[in-house]
Structure 1
């Protein structure tokens, strides 16, 4: 009996030791796993699980700037979809909820996108920054912009990015605001901006080369887009006439005849409408067709499936002007 009791006691002791060893091994493996996880999180690389700053912009163009500067630290969407006239846009179901989830918002300001601004102001949570990029001329000029304080229309021109210098200033301004909001991303934002500006500069040189190949006597521009005053000044193209609808105004038969007369008297080769439907774009296209000149397209405040970014916009517009204004040689 004593022998059997001793054997049983030995088995119990052995089993207890084995159980303790298994528990210790499991705890050791768990600790090792936690250490490896902590090392991965602190390595500075993008693991895909890092929290991204939720950002909403009014225009697809601004979303492009934010995406280029913010990289994988941001989750950005545009309130106004691609291919839509910013002045005619109206909110859709779900827009208010999307705005309410944003941590920072970017708009142009200066009454350029009134419906989108209203949605932002009414639905952003208290304390969430609403950055109006063109709302402070001094701040934008410090970021590198050149602003015309007296324009053809006599009013402040809200669309400033049609010169590459000003487009880069918009992106630089966005970089500064992202850094204020997310100081930990400062180095990454600066690195992204540097790489982006190199690509923009390369595209700008391409545009200058294309437009230098257009005979000077052909550099006459008739468009519906008042922002092309910046574009024309930057690339030495004369903004001969505009067909634009201002607040509280409507197009008339006199506007139509004025454009046709200008086409004839100035020997204009082409008219340039924006890529979306609007009364002024339709009138300009009709005037061009009836006058027997080319009807072409220039992008400024909208993107689409063909022109998906600011860099695409610069390149497309340069190619279109070269094609429609009689560019010569390789360009």
Structure 2
């Protein structure tokens, strides 16, 4: 009996030490919140085991129309650092920060310092004008990664060397991705490098990789296309040798209108990711490779 009690005591003691160690390790983790999954993935690649990353917008959801939940408020309230895109992309974020964020919470706007291409801002009341979808150009995503590395190093100086190493390794992967995308698009006949998308979000992708966005159904995914806009696109697409409309997985209305347009011109539907990730396409690199393959399959 004494032997059993002794073993039990030792087990409890060992388990207590384990829990204590686990708690210390957990407490030392940087708690980072990113506004949507693409940014969350970039932060994970730099932070790895030192950073616990939570995305406010979940996989497969639309960041444009997201409505913050009590769970989102709890995550922001307990965050050590918050990463956003900026340029009017996350219209719902300002109120969330005002209501629950700690006064000294570092808020890192990853697009800061980048020059936006002309385009409709997602914020009708913003003083900024331009397209916020910088990450669809891999070179700009690399700037995001550099900004993430600097921000994490500033709030966690002990991990600066780790963040720098992780960022360098990931930047090498992104440069390979960028080179691959360039070669993929070059394999498409030049006259076929014209695309129609659901919303005005692919300008950076087109500029970097040699495509031309000939039209889109809506400037902002918050609204739906008018009959006049549909008619103009129908007339335009009838002149294309490759009659393809690219929809986005997170915008359900895009499929309905794109199907109607494709039927009218005897065209087809393909998918391009812009603002979200999914279980099938769970990382930024996966997303951009999916887009490259989708473009080649549809246009070559």
Secondary structure of 2:33's aligned partner: strand
Distance 1:232 1:212 in 2: 12
How far 1:64 moved relative to its partner?
0.4
Q: Which residue of 2 aligns with 1:312?
A: 286
Structure 1: gaps (5+ residues): 1-36, 42-46, 142-146, 327-331
Q: Which residue of 2 aligns with 1:7?
A: none
* Mapped pair 1:82 → 2:50: no
CA change 1:204–1:108 in 2 (3 A) is same
Distance 2:222 2:253 in 1: 14
Secondary structure of 2:269's aligned partner: strand
- 1:205 is aligned, of 179, 184, 192, to 179
How far 1:286 moved relative to its partner?
2.2
* Mapped pair 1:111 → 2:79: no
Contact 1:274/1:300 (<8 A) preserved: yes
Bigger Cα Rg: 1
- 1:256 is aligned, of 214, 217, 230, to 230
How far 1:126 moved relative to its partner?
1.5
Contact 1:84/1:302 (<8 A) preserved: yes
Q: Which residue of 1 aligns with 2:99?
A: 122
How far 1:107 moved relative to its partner?
0.8
* Mapped pair 1:294 → 2:268: yes
- 1:166 is aligned, of 125, 140, 160, to 140
CA change 1:170–1:100 in 2 (3 A) is same
Structure 1 moving runs of 4+ over 6 Å: none
CA change 1:149–1:220 in 2 (3 A) is closer
CA change 1:132–1:285 in 2 (3 A) is farther
Distance 1:174 1:49 in 2: 21
Distance 2:196 2:79 in 1: 39
Distance 1:193 1:264 in 2: 46
Per-residue displacement from partner, 1:159-218 (whole Å, max 9, x unpaired)? 111111101111111111111111111111110011101111222222222222111111
Q: Which residue of 1 aligns with 2:215?
A: 241
Distance 1:181 1:271 in 2: 44
Distance 1:322 1:305 in 2: 23
Distance 2:180 2:96 in 1: 38
CA RMSD of aligned residues (A): 2.4
Contact 1:90/1:116 (<8 A) preserved: no
**Number of matched pairs:** 273
Contact 2:120/2:130 (<8 A) preserved: no
TM-score, scaled relative to structure 2: 0.84
Deviates more, 1:49-58 or 1:178-187: 49-58
* Mapped pair 1:231 → 2:205: yes
Structure 2: gaps (5+ residues): 1-16, 122-127
